[in-house]
Structure 1
Amino acid sequence: METTTLALPTAPAFDTPLAPAALRLVDAYWRAANYLSVGQMYLYDNPLLREPLTLAHIKPLLLGHWGTTPGQNFIYTHLNRAIRKYDLDMIYVCGPGHGGPAVVAGTYLEGTYSEVYPHISEDENGLRKLFRQFSFPGGISSHAGPQTPGSIHEGGELGYSLSHAFGAVFDNPELIVACVVGDGEAETGPLATAWHGNKFLNPATDGAVLPILHLNGYKISNPTVLARITPEELDQLLRGYGWTPYYVEGHEPALMHQAMAAALDEAVENILAIQHNAQAQTESIRPRWPLIVLRSPKGWTGPKEVDGLPNEGSFRAHQVPLVVSAEAPPAHLAQLEAWLRSYRPEELFDEAGRLLPELAELAPLGNRRMGANPHANGGLLLQPLHLPDFADYAVAVPAPGTVEASDTGTVGKFLRDVVARNSAPRSFRIFGPDETLSNKLGSVFEATSRQWDAETAAHDEFLAPAGSVVEMLSEHQCEGWLEGYLLTGRHGLFNSYEAFIHIVDSMFNQHAKWLKTTLEIPWRRNIASLNYLLTSTVWRQDHNGFTHQDPGFMDHVVNKKASIVRVYLPPDANCLLSVMDHCLRSRHYVNVIVAAKHPAPQWLSMDAAIKHCTQGIGIWPWASSDAGQEPDAVLACCGDVPTLETLAAVSILREHLPELKIRVVNVVDLLRLQRSTEHPHGLADADYDALFTRDKPVIFAFHGYPWLVHRLTYNRPNNTHLHVRGYKEEGTITTAFDMTVLNELDRFHLAMDVLDRVPQLGNQGAHLKQYLKDKLVAHKQYIYRHGQDMPEIRDWQWTAGVTE
């Protein structure tokens, strides 16, 4: 391949092979990082070993993970060298679990850490504080979390590093993400699938991911799979994924430094050549991007043996390799001191405790430092989306229920123009597991294609090297890509079938925790919200049946901090447009939107929808019959199908019991049900009581599991009169209406609930109840005979009462 011509710095540390002086400097910098890492795990005081080590200098509780750390210090040191040599725009993603000591050490040595945390100064006192804070009350965790400069990846859970890396480089053509993949992490499903990200990367318009597979052989107490297969099998695996692997293997530092410098130079030059050729349009085949395999001992440079058992190169080096305490063998203290002194700190730091100038010069400068790169603090780069006026896409609703439309089909036209307005440069993407068309968002393909860099065939649709839609049949990858895209300062949307969004439950957990924590870190800037559009919902899975029926993601989401999560269930297309516009404009939330894709009745004009969605909850006077008086019963609904069935129940009641005073309350913003003291969107008790009364029966038709509403309202004054209908884990392949019957959410059950709870109806109510029971029997007989719902169900329209 053709390579670019670069003007390179002439400092000896940049040469390959490394000259003796350069080798000495690189090795010293690595030793400094290792010393800082061991110090973080062990030292409470005496940070530069100015005096003999005693138990008083040791932390009372030793926590942390050593095994992956020296290898990551080695990688970080060499990446610094490559950044200086090639003037790279690069960030670092730490995949191996609990690799925090390495990233903290790296960012401290380059100066970023002290800039972000001035009290952790670049001197002996700063080192003391740096060491004390690690895995210590009020300090920092043992992984590279949000508190760590340069991190976009919460390392507490394994499997997502490579997905985040690819998401970060979409539409960032100058950026390279060096992603360290641990060999334990490589055994997870998300990571194993993430290798395929190279089929979605456009070398002309996207950045590059440089995976560094760190094979140190062990997990907590077991060997790792990729470290125990033959070199030939590993090579075939990586090449089969479409990568070009470069191998750095051994344990002798001098030889490993030379090998790593050479491999990294070749990998970077390969990346630059791929990008140059793509931009010059001299290469049309999909590139085989470089990948580095680093095979080094677990716990490299640590104790060789502890208590007569092998340590370095074994699973015993995974966490704290050497216990030092009053209860431990006295020899352990001396062994720790020898280990620390093996890094020769007196050759690395001056009398004041500062890194020696000739070593500090090895780090990149300014924003080229990986800890200071603004892509790793994406809120610094975030620009508002250019949004069209969502009201321009409104469905005309002359009167409630008189027209039908697909809610997601309608919002798809809005998203089409969001894509178009934010495509130069591209700052908005839609991610999904091959469901954009199925979820009725196909209008977006009028403005963009699916990004795809693998082979294409003549009958393929909407595939191109660059596009704003990214689809892969892996919810893990879609989630990880979107998170990486958001964390580096862009905007996006994840559309998915409702039942299968559970696949990313744990990934959502980690991202929500990241958002919550970064709110407490002053130097972190807010990023765009993570927006989910969940459709193909539980109530409309006629041919898929029980396997596709689960609305429980909402239950999972509301476990998170109220400052982070929002849940919306718009009842029609105009409400969905309003909600979508709001969510795309929002910052630093997780927004869950649950909406219908099948044609359904439309209830509100755009003006009415805007007012309703702004309030998030409200009385629908046109559907109610209480005329501003105290109602006999409140019928509440949340979700498209529950709204339909509630209004149908109201029409039955108003036809047969015209004197009954009914109030209809619709909920768009689910968390309005909570108290204002528990959620920022929650209603004060007085406002809640004004809607639901303090003592009248409330029949609540809910899209999801009924107990979620009970949970949100458990401490409301009228809770004892609240009866919730929702999904009760009853499903099969059946008609749409029969799904509601199976779960007793249908209009007939809702009407009977009112009759059971308004005692003054007496015999009049008894006769109507028998009529409703007969309707349920007739329904079953009809669908078993005809395979579809009764005409009165299929053709039902709202006719009761006045229009809006």
Structure 2
Amino acid sequence: MPGQYIAQANPPPDPSLLSDDILKYATTLDTKNFLNEEELKSIDLFTRAADYIAAAMIFLNSNALLDKPITHDMIKPRLLGHWGTCPGLILIYAHLNRIIRNTGLDALYVVGPGHGAPAVLSCLWLEDSLSTFLPEYPRNREGLTRLISRFSVPGGFPSHINAETPGAIHEGGELGYALSVSFGAVMDNPHLVVACVIGDGEAETGPTAAAWHGYKYIDPAESGAVLPILHVNGFKISERTIFGVMDDKEITALFTGYGYQVRIVEDLENIHNDLAASLTWALSEIHTIQKAARSGSPIIKPRWPMLVLRTPKGWTGPKIINGEFIEGSFRSHQVPLPNAKTDAKELADLQKWLGSYGPNELFDEAGSPVEAILKIVPEDGKKLGMREESYKAYKPLLTPDWRKYTVAAGEQESCMKAIGRFLKEVVKENPKTFRIFSPDELVSNKLDAVLEETGRNFQWDIASRNQGGRVIEILSEHTCQGMLQGYTLTGRTGLFPSYEAFLGIIHTMMVQYSKFAKMAYETSWRQPCGSLNYLETSTWTRQEHNGFSHQNPSFIGAVLSLKPRFARVYLPPDANCFLSTISHCLRAKGYVNLMVGSKQPTTVWLDKEAADKHCIAGASVWKFASVDDGVDPDVVIVGVGVEMTFEVIAAAALLRKLVPALRVRVVNVTDLMVLSLGTAHPHALSEDAFETLFTKDRTVHFNYHGYPIELRGLLNGRGDGRVSIEGYNEEGTTTSPFDMMLCNHTSRFDVAIAAIRGGARFNPRVAVEAHEKESYIKHLAQKERDYIYANGKDHDDIFDTPKF
């Protein structure tokens, strides 16, 4: 009966079947006359109208409804846009509309080909979602003219889907992340289905290859579902795609191996019936899997459905121009008629192309879509462009009082152990709105207290299946990042702990997200969402056993390079300060928060009250380690980071014994952004505040956890001529922890020498013996290195708390 379909049983045939049998199973589906005549007409008109608008957006600056012949002056001066992917994206959008209208499905549409903005914007205008958020684009002649003429021009819509696009939670500028973002979006959203389109160019990326496994981390009892749609149109910018030259058997075998049920949609003569039946089948399979899990009898290793849509690149566009194939070739990727502004032949071809859609049949006199198009448009709350998950779904996180997890000053404690206990309670208080995305390093990073409250949500593992674990562990930083983005942008809060050296893998992903966040912040109708929270540990200072490859703090610089409004970098000096910091970051909205700390036990310098005040200030004088509480110093020595601060305090203690005449002020910086110049950052110290901490004229020496050039750039000239900086300088190997300090000139001996040199400029009593003391300290450093190389370890007491 048209409009109905009985889903195949899940699971599918035994994977040991021959590939020919698998192919038959995956591609056999009766699609003849699946749609009734009214639905078929409406979908056809919707796709024609959207295709027309998308093409017109690339070319026209006026004459939006082709009321008269196109002339050269009606063509935009710069032709920007990507036509090739648009017809496929529109086709899927139209069919999702039909299903949503008929069934009430709750869905989001995530588009990997980010340059497909004309496709999505045209559909948003047709369904009247655009005017809901942007009233200047009403569904009439005026709104259509503005949409078409203002696309990809200064002040108008960009050529990418971005945060200004209603319904969007993914930009797609850098390819590879649509699928992982989609999996993050459905976690803890049991009602939601995300239809995710992966272009066959994007499918060639490494991040996408890993993300196909994402459903293995989706518990169908508690979460929604992702329907991946691999759009195979055969070409990228100027070359064939890998998937474009794979036959049906190869593609089916590949994705069957991944664990999917595959349906290939490729009947171009009957495409609407084929796609409608296939989508209905896929949703039926999803329902079967979820129903079983939610009734307490989950299917063992369920095979989730996926679709492979084969359509020509640039379908419905120009066929041949100047003797070269356009439709179905790479030449349709961007602008099929690049010389339409000046070439009469291409202008005539454009007239023919746009006219082929029959705009007079699609829009009435007022410029509104004809009634038949609107028959597949869902109700307002269900429209793909109006889903609240995409723009106003933030659920504030409940955090316990961090003070309950502090330890007494003077004790030794691992920052990560302390916050692991805190996170255990965060998980307990937020069972549906908080997740940890970790590249298989939770235990290694000493956060395993979390596992006392929750498990790992790995559905292919019998031990954790259907248990609702809050921890996602997969050895793909890209997948963790994508899932974190999808989870965050749909209103929840996540945490990404990682080895310091390997967070750089997702550097550009983080930057892409920050650009989306910037545009979202500047878009009036988007409400704030949580922050991206990174926890960077297993740092270079304690990766001496793993060697040079594991020593890399460059992700700090990546965050520092972001727009200041969104960048936050914290280097808490001890466990108590770290507890205060993470509690703040998990509650904060709209930032990229990077927290850097040690997993090894280190001295706790501040009690909970002092830690609270210090973190609020972002930086302060540590009187207990300073001479005369830091008043009237000869030199200022500054620690930034756990181990760097320890060496600064050890240096202060050493100087008390060796150079008692030297007046030392010790400062700790926990919020790196306070060092920014003036108004460069919301947390930046004023010039007066900077001088109260670091004096007006005394030498200041920074012992910094990251690359010195980062800190110099952050200071931006502050303290010119009197500031010296040491930090990680790409020296390392498999050695001892203290030798790492010596290698990078960040040891207590290096700090003490810098302090003597600086103090000698202002204190004659220090100057008179500076050379002697400096030589002796160098001698102590060499003796320490000799001991390390002779014994294969540091002195047992090297990291004991310094005594003053």
Pair 1:433-2:439 in alignment: yes
How big is each residue's C-alpha offset from its partner over 1:351-373, in whole Å with a ceiling of 9 and x where there is no partner? 00001122112111112100001
Once the two structures are overlaid, the 10-residue window that deviates more, 171-180 or 764-773, is 764-773
Distance of 1:465 and 1:293 partners within structure 2: 31
Partner residue, 1:644: 646
The whole-number CA distance in structure 2 between the counterparts of 1:385 and 1:419 is 10
Deviation at 1:408, TM superposition (A): 0.6
Q: Superposition pairs for residues 469-488 of structure 1, below 5 Å?
A: 469-488=471-490
Identify the residue that residue 406 of structure 1 maps to in structure 2.
414
Using the TM superposition, give the Cα deviation of residue 628 of structure 1 relative to its aligned residue in structure 2, in angstroms. Answer: 5.2
Q: Deviations over 1:18-48 (max 9, x none)?
A: 1233222211111001011011111110110
**Match of residue 612 from structure 1:** 614
Q: Aligned pair 1:396/2:408, yes or no?
A: yes
SS at match of 2:196: strand
1:101 aligns with 2:105: no
**Contact kept in structure 1, 2:32 and 2:273, CA below 8 Å:** no
Query: SS where residue 223 of structure 2 aligns?
Result: coil
Question: Match of 2:28?
Answer: none
Q: Are 2:799 and 1:799 aligned?
A: no
* In structure 1, C-alpha distance between the alignment counterparts of 2:174 and 2:358, rounded to whole Å: 34
**Residue pair 1:91, 1:176 contacting (<8 A) in 2 also:** yes
Runs of 5+ in structure 2 lacking a partner?
Answer: 10-30
Check whether the contact 2:400–2:422 (CA below 8 A) recurs between aligned residues: yes
Aligned to 1:9: none
The match for 1:676 among 675, 678, 698 is: 678
CA distance, structure 1, for counterparts of residue 135 and residue 757 of structure 2: 67
How far off is 1:715 after superposition?
A: 2.5
Matched residue type, 1:281: G
Task: Give CA-to-partner distance per residue, 1:509-543, whole Å, 9 cap, x none.
Answer: 11111111111100011100000000000100121
Shift in Å, 1:178: 0.2
The answer to whether the 8 A contact 2:79-2:335 is kept is yes
Shift of 1:4: 12
Q: SS of the counterpart of 1:209?
A: strand
Secondary structure of the corresponding residue to residue 198 of structure 2 = strand
Shift of residue 798 of structure 1?
2.1
1:3 shift after superposition: 7.0
Secondary structure at the counterpart of residue 306 of structure 2? strand
| 1:202-601 alignment runs, 5 A limit | 202-252=219-269, 255-328=270-343, 330-377=344-391, 380-397=392-409, 402-423=410-431, 426-456=432-462, 465-601=467-603
Work out whether residues 618 and 665 of structure 1, in 8 Å CA contact, stay in contact via their aligned partners in 2: yes
Please name the residue that 1:778 is paired with.
783
| 2-structure distance, mates of 1:146, 1:477 | 21
8 Å CA contact retained: 1:91, 1:177: yes
**Deviation of 1:278 (Å):** 1.4
> What amino acid sits opposite 1:268 in the alignment?
L
Match of 1:41 in 2: 58
- Which segment drifts farther, 66-75 or 55-64? 55-64
Distance 2:103 2:287 in 1: 10
The residue identity in structure 1 corresponding to 2:76 is: K
2-side partners of 1:26 and 1:577: how far apart?
A: 55
- Tell me, yes or no, if the aligned pair for 1:4 and 1:272 is still in contact at 8 Å: no
Find the counterpart in structure 2 of residue 10 from structure 1.
none
Amino acid at match of 1:392: K
Partner of 2:667: 665
> d(CA) in 2 for partners of 1:81 and 1:627?
72
Offset of 1:16 from its aligned partner? 5.9
What's 1:8 paired with? Answer: none
Q: Does structure 2 conserve the Cα–Cα contact (< 8 Å) formed by 1:2 and 1:277?
A: no
Percent identity, aligned pairs only?
45
In structure 2, C-alpha distance between the alignment counterparts of 1:780 and 1:625, rounded to whole Å: 29
Counterpart selection for 2:198 from 181, 184, 206: 181
1:3–1:272 CA contact under 8 A, matched in 2: no
> Is the contact made by 1:2 and 1:273 (CA closer than 8 Å) also made in structure 2?
no
Structure 1 segments of 4+ aligned residues over 6 angstroms from their partners: 1-5
Native 8 Å contact 2:39 2:376 kept in 1: no
- Report the CA distance between 1:2 and its aligned residue: 9.8
Partners of 1:594 and 1:505 in 2: CA distance: 16
Q: Distance in 1 between matches of 2:162 and 2:759?
A: 55
Opposite residue 154 of structure 1, the aligned amino acid is E
Deviations 1:125-145 (A, max 9, x none): 111100111110111111211
- Among 128, 131, 135, the alignment partner of 2:152 is 135
Question: 2: CA distance between counterparts of 1:720 and 1:92?
Answer: 55
Q: 1:791 to 1:208 in 2, by over 3 A?
A: closer
**Greater shift in the superposed pair: 785-794 or 561-570:** 785-794
SS of corresponding position for 1:180: strand
> 1:452·1:465 contact (CA, 8 Å) conserved in 2?
no
Secondary structure of the structure 2 residue equivalent to 1:451: coil
Letter in 2 for 1:797: T
The Cα shift of 1:767 comes to 2.5
Amino acid at match of 1:270: E
Q: Which residue does the alignment assign to 1:736? A: 737
Distance 1:510 1:26 in 2: 34
> What's the offset of the Cα at 1:740?
0.4
The letter for the 1-side match of 2:63 is N
Distance 1:629 1:222, change over 3 A: same
User: Which residue does the alignment assign to 2:24?
Assistant: none
2:778, 2:136 → 1: CA distance?
73
**Conservation of the 8 A alpha-carbon contact between 2:298 and 2:466:** no
Distance (whole Å) between structure 1 residues aligned to residue 249 and residue 340 of structure 2 = 45
After superposition, give the CA deviation of every residue in 1:681-723 in whole Å (9 maximum; x if it has no partner): 000001101111121111110001111111111232x221000
Matched, 1:725 2:743: no
Give the count of matched residue pairs.
775
| Secondary structure, aligned partner of 2:244 | coil
Deviation at 1:768, TM superposition (A): 1.9
Paired AA for residue 608 in structure 1: A
Give the structure 2 partner of residue 11 of structure 1. none
Q: 1:696: which partner in 2? A: 698
Match of 2:771?
A: 766
Unmatched runs of 5 consecutive residues or more in structure 1: 6-13
Letter in structure 1 aligned against 2:378: P
Alignment-mate amino acid for residue 244 of structure 1: Q
Provide closer, same or farther for how the CA distance between residues 745 and 528 of structure 1 changes in structure 2, counting only shifts above 3 A.
Answer: same
Q: How far, CA to CA, are the matches of 2:458 and 2:439 in structure 1? A: 14
1:651-671 Cα offsets, whole Å, 9 max, x none, are 011112222111011000001
